[in-house]
Amino acid sequence: MEADDKVIVYGLGVDDPKAMYGTLKGFPEKYGSHRCFDTPLSEDALTGYGIGLAIQGYKPIHVHQRTDFLLLAANQLINMAAKLSYLSEGRTRCPFIVRAITGRSWGQGAQHSQSFHSIFANIPGLRILSPSTPSDAYNVYKNAFNDRIPTVVIEHRMLYKYEGVITPLGKVPNVSIIDRGLDATICSVSHMSLETKRATLALAKTGLSFDHLSLVDISNPDIDVIFRSVSRTGRLLFVDHGWLNCSIAKSIVADLILKGYTGDVKVLGYADSPCPTAGCLEKVFYPDPNKIAKVLMELCLREGDPPIIEQSIEIRNFRGPF
Amino acid sequence: MTTDKWLHIVKSVTFIREFERVVQDLYESDVIQSPVHLSIGQELLSVLIAKLMVNGDRIVGNYRSHALAVALSDDLEPIILELLAKKGGVSGGKAGSMHLSVPEKGMIWTSAIVGSGVPVACGIADGLKRDNSRKVAFVMFGDGAIEEGCVLESINIAATFNLPLLFVLEDNGLAINTPKDRRTRLKDYTDLARAFGIKSWDLTYKEPFKLESDLAQAVSYVRANCSPAFVRVECYRWIEHVGTNTDWHLGYRNETDAIPWYDCDIINNCESLGMSKSDQKAYAHQVHQQITALFSKCCDYSDPDTNSLLNGVL
Tell whether the model's pLDDT for residue A63 goes beyond 90.
yes
Q: What is the rounded CA–CA span in Å between residue A7 and residue A54?
A: 10
Nearest CA in chain B to A44: B150
For the residues A30-51, what does the mean pLDDT come to?
97
A45 touches chain B (CB under 8 A): yes
> Could you give the 3-state DSSP secondary structure of residue B166?
strand
Strand partners, B34: none
Do residues B49 and B140 make contact, with C-beta atoms less than 8 angstroms apart?
yes
Tell whether the model's pLDDT for residue B3 goes beyond 80.
no
Tell whether the model's pLDDT for residue A46 goes beyond 60.
yes
A86 chain-B contacts, CB cut-off 8 A? 94, 312-313
pLDDT confidence bin for A158, thresholds 50/70/90: very high
Nearest CA in chain A to B111: A80
pLDDT digit string, tens, across residues B88-136: 999 999 999 999 999 999 999 899 999 999 999 999 999 999 999 999 9
User: What domains sit in chain A, N to C, each tagged with a CATH number?
Assistant: 7-159 (3.40.50.970), 175-316 (3.40.50.920)
Burial of A317 (0-12, 13-18, 19+ CB in 10 A): exposed
The pLDDT > 90 percentage for chain B reads: 98
Output the CA–CA distances (angstroms, integers) from residue B290 to B15, B18, B232, B263, in the order listed. 10, 10, 34, 28
The pLDDT > 90 percentage for chain A reads: 97
The pLDDT > 70 percentage for chain A reads: 100
Phi, psi of B98 (to 5 degrees): -85, -10
pLDDT confidence bin for A320, thresholds 50/70/90: confident
pLDDT for residue B1: 55
HEC states along chain A? Answer: CCCCCCEEEECCCCCCCCCCCCCCCCHHHHHCCCCEECCCCCHHHHHHHHHHHHHCCCEEEEEECCHHHHHHHHHHHHHHHHHHHHHCCCCCCCCCEEEEEECCCCCCHHHCCCCCHHHHHCCCCCEEECCCCHHHHHHHHHHHHHHCCCEEEEEEHHHCCCCCCCCCCCCCCCEEEEECCCCEEEEECCHHHHHHHHHHHHHHCCCCCEEEEEECECCCCCHHHHHHHHHHHCEEEEECCCCCCCCHHHHHHHHHHHCCCCCEEEEECCCCCCCCCCHHHHHHHCCCHHHHHHHHHHHCCCCCCCCCCCCCHHHHCCCCCC
Strand partners, A101: A155
For residues A25, A29, A33 and A34, what is the CA-based torsion angle, rounded to 10 degrees? Answer: -100
Q: What is the rounded CA–CA span in Å between residue B80 and residue B292?
A: 10
Output the CA–CA distances (angstroms, integers) from residue A279 to A104, A106, A275, in the order listed. 10, 7, 10
Q: How many angstroms away from the CA of A82 is the closest CA of chain B?
A: 8
A73 touches chain B (CB under 8 A): no
pLDDT for residue B109: 86
pLDDT for residue B78: 97
The model carries a pTM of 0.96
Do residues A258 and A235 make contact, with C-beta atoms less than 8 angstroms apart?
no
Output the CA–CA distances (angstroms, integers) from residue A90 to A125, B99, B305, B310, in the order listed. 11, 14, 16, 11
pLDDT digit string, tens, across residues A253-274: 999 999 999 999 999 999 999 9
pLDDT for residue A322: 82
- What is the overall mean pLDDT for chain B? 96
B160 touches chain A (CB under 8 A): yes
A84 chain-B contacts, CB cut-off 8 A? 109
Phi, psi of A23 (to 5 degrees): -70, -20
pLDDT digit string, tens, across residues B125-163: 999 999 999 999 999 999 999 999 999 999 999 999 999
What sign does the CA torsion over B211, B216, B220, B223 have? positive
Strand ranges across the sheet with B165-171: B107-111, B58-62, B137-142, B165-171, B229-234, B199-204
User: What domains sit in chain B, N to C, each tagged with a CATH number?
Assistant: 3-303 (3.40.50.970)
Nearest CA in chain B to A84: B109
pLDDT digit string, tens, across residues B252-308: 999 999 999 999 999 999 999 999 999 999 999 999 999 999 999 999 999 999 999
Q: What is the rounded CA–CA span in Å between residue B198 and residue B175?
A: 25
Alpha carbons within 13 A on the beta-carbon side of B52:
26
Give me the interface pTM, i.e. the ipTM: 0.96
Do residues B144 and B66 make contact, with C-beta atoms less than 8 angstroms apart?
no
pLDDT for residue A219: 98
For residues A181, A182, A186 and A187, what is the CA-based torsion angle, rounded to 10 degrees? Answer: 70
B99 touches chain A (CB under 8 A): yes
Geometric angle at alpha carbon A80, from A76 and A81, rounded to 5°: 90
Q: Which helix (H) or strand (E) holds B190?
A: helix B189-195
pLDDT confidence bin for B2, thresholds 50/70/90: low
Q: Which helix (H) or strand (E) holds B170?
A: strand B165-171
A40 touches chain B (CB under 8 A): yes
The pLDDT > 70 percentage for chain B reads: 99
Q: What is the rounded CA–CA span in Å between residue A70 and residue A47?
A: 9
Provide the angle, in degrees to the nearest 10, between the axes of the packed helices A191-204 and A289-299. Answer: 60
**Is A79 in contact with B311 (Cβ distance < 8 A)?**
no
> Could you give the 3-state DSSP secondary structure of residue B10?
helix
